[in-house]
Chains A and B, each alone.
Chain A
Amino acid sequence: MTYITRREMLGRLGALLGTLMGSASVPALPAAARARAQAAAAESFISLTPAEAETVRAVVSRLIPTDENGPGALEARADRYIDRGLAGALKASRAVYSTGLADLSARAQALKGGSFSRLPPSDQDAVLTSVQQTVFFNLIRAHTIQGMFGDPFYGGNANFVGWTLLGYPGPRTTVSADLQRMDRKPEPSNKSAYDYGMFSKGEV
């Protein structure tokens, strides 16, 4: 599988941002986040169908929203983490996604009369609340958390937005006594475990 490094990804994102700034169709998001979201949408998904991808993007953006506390799961590219994972390490979950996403679309139509991704956030939340106890919901929630707070090697936690939210200073290969003081806030390492070049890589 082709793996896009974070640097490449950021570069691509930057190029796309320039061309997409200004277009408007997702009113809930601030302009920068909207542009980034659209840039990401322009890249092809490898596992999810276009319709599924649209729903997944809408779901993850409600699970961990972009708000006054900073970027959410969409900026973290949790949707990309899920898409890539479903073709690899998470492939056992693919069937649950197919039925779960279809079920979500059907509920959106039945309850709110529209496709899930086009509903206003409050209606999306109502639909999600109606599936909160399902296997699918718990799975996509767990994967969204993984895609937000896991190592960027797997395609999520882009620009370390998840770790920044928590104040987690990132993996290091050695930690001084000073970094374990209570009066210290360690500087972010801004590194994936695999940026150290010391480790064999697992399945994405």
Chain B
Amino acid sequence: MATTLKKTNVVIVGLGAAGGVACLPLAQAGIEVIGLDAGPRLSTRDMAPDELRLSRNAWPPGPQKTHMEAPTFRPNASATAVQGAHPMMNAVGGTSIHYWAQSWRLNPWDFKVRSETIRRYGASRVPKGSTVEDWPFDYDELESYYDKVEYAIGVSGKAGNLNGKKDERGNIFEAPRKREFPMPPLRSTGFSERMAAAAKSLGWHPAPGPAAIASKSFDGRAGCAYHGFCSGAGCHVNAKSSTAVTTIPKAEKTGKFTVVAEARVTKIEVDRNGRASGVTYVREGEEYFQPADVVLVAGYVYENVRLLLISTSTAYPRGLSNNHGQVGRHYFSHNQGAAVSARFPFDLNNWYGLPAQGVGVDNWADDNFDHSGLDFIGGGNMWVYTERRPIASVNGVAQWFGNRPLWGSAWKAFVKENADRTNGAYLQKTTLPYEDNYLDLDPGVKDPFGVPVVRITGEFKDNEKKIALFMHDKMEQWYRTAGAIDFRRAEVANAMGPTTHAYGGTRMGQNPETNVVNAWGFSHEVPNLGILGGSVMGTSGARNPTLTLQAIAWRTAEHLARNWKTVAQ
């Protein structure tokens, strides 16, 4: 029998990128908030620059709920689903602790893919089978929330479009912003300057990217140390603007926000009127019921969908907020694979640095170029960066060695010569939702507690594949211009497997027949249930989702604070 705890105003399930920012505007409005996270609290002592520890599944420390419930995956409904790894982590701060921290805003086009495509190219150019809809609001509506998050957590960058005024020192393709970033961009490197010069010689517009990383001391935190253990690792000087060191401690200081770590939520409960009444969670083997006026679900896409689907009741027999059968629909994994890598005939000195420290080109992203003569819509952001670790460099060199055995003296000599001569570009490409790509509960695979895991059914369609091939050519051209001599193009895959950039499953939109949450992020069916995170996003754009889902989470939280009585009743 669960122990019933004292009722609170709001309970947030998951304190990662989304839940970790939503707590702040609520607590600042005087609303009492309890935040639950399945993972532990970490400190800078847990952030050793140790490649072995980071790569041997020995990190992050503490209970990792995500690892116990990794989704299964199948490309289509006639294939057998197999379980893989889960790319996210559990901790107070969630994956904002070990993400790359690239913090782009979406392009205005991303909010209106359907209507803009029809307007510019005709209805036939919306990819067949896609369920893409315009967002319920446009970029201008989200601008102020982007701004609030950028200043609350600390995002570094250089504006390329300040109130419509273009500035070549920044990304001239970015959406107009009302004010400059709170901090200058992360510094350039010898390699990124070489790549920028090559892009300029092609007539492109290279620019540094926005990063949720302090480029100088900010709000009591140190600036970036550029030491090379940022990707998949936490920051040892708290320069990375994870919610664990920014908005969460700020919310705690109000006295209105309480964090409960290592609490694994098992069900969202409902009352007899079909309203959410709180959540049941397990902590150190004991079961608790936390009653609340409002429940905010803020896990990753797979966890949000799973928690709704397993929270069945008389009012919601197919899962919470799923009487329209939309939970799990409009799912997609970002088309961020199909990379291009290059080998140079000289050392690059790329041993230090971080993924967010680099140079990007947006000439071929979104609708920044005319698609009239092309057979796809959208495009990709090209990003090159520096961060090289020794074991990864040894393994990475393998693809350049041909079919020869990867051991012995010849291999050793090749590794020695090429360890610092290769580079892999990061290509993020427009991805759309489709009718037959979705999430549901796996009928066979369960977590250690006997509860089904999520099953992904999904594959990239023609539009995604054509973008990938188009970007391959552009990227190789860029590397060649910078002096590379050898190139590899990763396969354009069908598989839409588990990824760090997952979207949909509880999509946001005005129409309850095709969307789970309304324009404010609250359930169409359960008025006091809010949903935060990438699961509400209906398009991906060509960039990392985190800043956008944080801006939406902030907007949902602010809406709740302003309309407390209406929503909480």
A residues sitting closer than 8 Å to B (CB atoms) are 62-65, 67, 69-70, 72, 89-90, 125, 128-129, 132, 141, 145-146, 149-151, 153-154, 162-163, 165-169, 171-175, 177, 179-186, 193-194, 198-203
Contacts of A199 in B (CB 8 A): 45-48, 50, 236
Chain B, Cβ-Cβ closest to A70 = B416
Contacts of B58 in A (CB 8 A): 89, 202-203
Query: B348 to A182, Cβ gap below 8 A?
Result: yes
The 27 sampled A-B contact pairs (Cβ below 8 Å) are: A69-B412, A69-B416, A132-B405, A145-B394, A146-B52, A146-B56, A149-B390, A151-B52, A165-B412, A166-B419, A166-B420, A167-B347, A169-B351, A172-B228, A173-B227, A175-B352, A179-B352, A180-B386, A181-B190, A181-B349, A182-B189, A182-B190, A185-B349, A186-B351, A198-B44, A199-B47, A199-B50
Query: A150 to B393, Cβ gap below 8 A?
Result: no
A150-B408 in contact given A162-B390, A198-B45, A199-B236 (Cβ < 8 Å): no
Chain B, Cβ-Cβ closest to A81 = B52
Query: A202 to B348, Cβ gap below 8 A?
Result: no
**Is residue B49 contacting chain A, with contact meaning CB distance below 8 A?**
yes
Q: Closest CB-CB distance, A80 to chain B, in whole Å?
A: 14
**In whole angstroms, how far apart are the Cα atoms of A181 and B53 in the complex?**
28
**In whole angstroms, how far apart are the Cα atoms of A156 and B47 in the complex?**
21
A125-B408 in contact given A149-B390, A166-B416 (Cβ < 8 Å): yes
Query: A198 to B187, Cβ gap below 8 A?
Result: no
Q: Closest CB-CB distance, B168 to chain A, in whole Å?
A: 22
Contacts of B415 in A (CB 8 A): 165-166
Contact residues on B (Cβ < 8 Å of other chain), bracket: 35 or more
Contacts of A167 in B (CB 8 A): 347, 351, 416, 419-420
**Is residue B4 contacting chain A, with contact meaning CB distance below 8 A?**
no
**Is residue B124 contacting chain A, with contact meaning CB distance below 8 A?**
no
**In whole angstroms, how far apart are the Cα atoms of A184 and B349 in the complex?**
7
Chain B, Cβ-Cβ closest to A182 = B190
Told that A200-B46, A203-B58 touch, could you supply 20 new A-B pairs with CB distance under 8 A? Answer: A63-B408, A65-B408, A65-B412, A69-B412, A89-B58, A145-B394, A163-B390, A165-B412, A166-B390, A166-B420, A168-B351, A168-B393, A169-B351, A171-B227, A172-B227, A175-B352, A179-B352, A180-B353, A199-B50, A202-B50
Contacts of A173 in B (CB 8 A): 49, 225, 227, 236-237
**Is residue B449 contacting chain A, with contact meaning CB distance below 8 A?**
no
Q: List 4 A-B pairs, minimum CB-CB distance, nearest first.
A: A182-B190, A199-B48, A166-B419, A180-B189
Q: Closest CB-CB distance, A126 to chain B, in whole Å?
A: 12
Query: A171 to B229, Cβ gap below 8 A?
Result: yes
A150-B51 in contact given A145-B394, A182-B348, A186-B351 (Cβ < 8 Å): yes
Q: Closest CB-CB distance, A66 to chain B, in whole Å?
A: 9
**Is residue B5 contacting chain A, with contact meaning CB distance below 8 A?**
no
Q: Closest CB-CB distance, A6 to chain B, in whole Å?
A: 15
Query: B406 to A174, Cβ gap below 8 A?
Result: no
Contacts of A168 in B (CB 8 A): 351, 388, 390, 393, 419-420
A175-B228 in contact given A63-B408, A166-B420 (Cβ < 8 Å): yes
Contacts of A64 in B (CB 8 A): 407, 412
**In whole angstroms, how far apart are the Cα atoms of A149 and B47 in the complex?**
19
B residues sitting closer than 8 Å to A (CB atoms) are 44-53, 56, 58-59, 187, 189-191, 194, 225-229, 236-237, 347-349, 351-353, 386, 388, 390-391, 393-395, 405-409, 412-413, 415-416, 419-420
**In whole angstroms, how far apart are the Cα atoms of A163 and B49 in the complex?**
14
Query: A62 to B408, Cβ gap below 8 A?
Result: yes
Contacts of A89 in B (CB 8 A): 56, 58
Query: A200 to B45, Cβ gap below 8 A?
Result: yes
**In whole angstroms, how far apart are the Cα atoms of A183 and B59 in the complex?**
35
**In whole angstroms, how far apart are the Cα atoms of A183 and B189 in the complex?**
11
Query: B407 to A174, Cβ gap below 8 A?
Result: no
Query: A149 to B391, Cβ gap below 8 A?
Result: yes
**In whole angstroms, how far apart are the Cα atoms of A145 and B352 in the complex?**
20
Contacts of A171 in B (CB 8 A): 49-50, 227-229
**Which one of B347, B353, B391 lies within 8 Å of A150 (CB-CB)?**
B391
**In whole angstroms, how far apart are the Cα atoms of A184 and B353 in the complex?**
14
A145-B395 in contact given A153-B50, A169-B351, A171-B227 (Cβ < 8 Å): yes
Contacts of B347 in A (CB 8 A): 167, 182, 185
**In whole angstroms, how far apart are the Cα atoms of A185 and B351 in the complex?**
10
Query: A166 to B408, Cβ gap below 8 A?
Result: no
Contacts of B388 in A (CB 8 A): 168
Q: Closest CB-CB distance, A170 to chain B, in whole Å?
A: 9
**Which one of B59, B190, B393, B405 lies within 8 Å of A202 (CB-CB)?**
B59
Query: B191 to A182, Cβ gap below 8 A?
Result: yes
Contacts of B420 in A (CB 8 A): 166-168
Query: A166 to B52, Cβ gap below 8 A?
Result: no
**Most chain B beta carbons < 10 A, residue from A177, A193, A201:** A193
Chain B, Cβ-Cβ closest to A184 = B349
**Which one of B225, B352, B391, B413 lies within 8 Å of A146 (CB-CB)?**
B391
Chain A, Cβ-Cβ closest to B53 = A202
Query: B227 to A175, Cβ gap below 8 A?
Result: yes
**In whole angstroms, how far apart are the Cα atoms of A174 and B51 in the complex?**
16
**In whole angstroms, how far apart are the Cα atoms of A181 and B349 in the complex?**
7
Chain B, Cβ-Cβ closest to A171 = B49
Q: Closest CB-CB distance, A131 to chain B, in whole Å?
A: 12
Query: B390 to A202, Cβ gap below 8 A?
Result: no
Query: B52 to A154, Cβ gap below 8 A?
Result: yes
Q: Closest CB-CB distance, B405 to chain A, in whole Å?
A: 7
Query: A174 to B227, Cβ gap below 8 A?
Result: yes
Query: B190 to A62, Cβ gap below 8 A?
Result: no
**In whole angstroms, how far apart are the Cα atoms of A151 and B351 in the complex?**
15
Chain B, Cβ-Cβ closest to A192 = B50
Contacts of B53 in A (CB 8 A): 151, 202
**In whole angstroms, how far apart are the Cα atoms of A109 and B13 in the complex?**
61
Query: A129 to B45, Cβ gap below 8 A?
Result: no
Contacts of A65 in B (CB 8 A): 408-409, 412
**In whole angstroms, how far apart are the Cα atoms of A78 and B191 in the complex?**
33
Chain B, Cβ-Cβ closest to A67 = B409
Chain B, Cβ-Cβ closest to A129 = B405
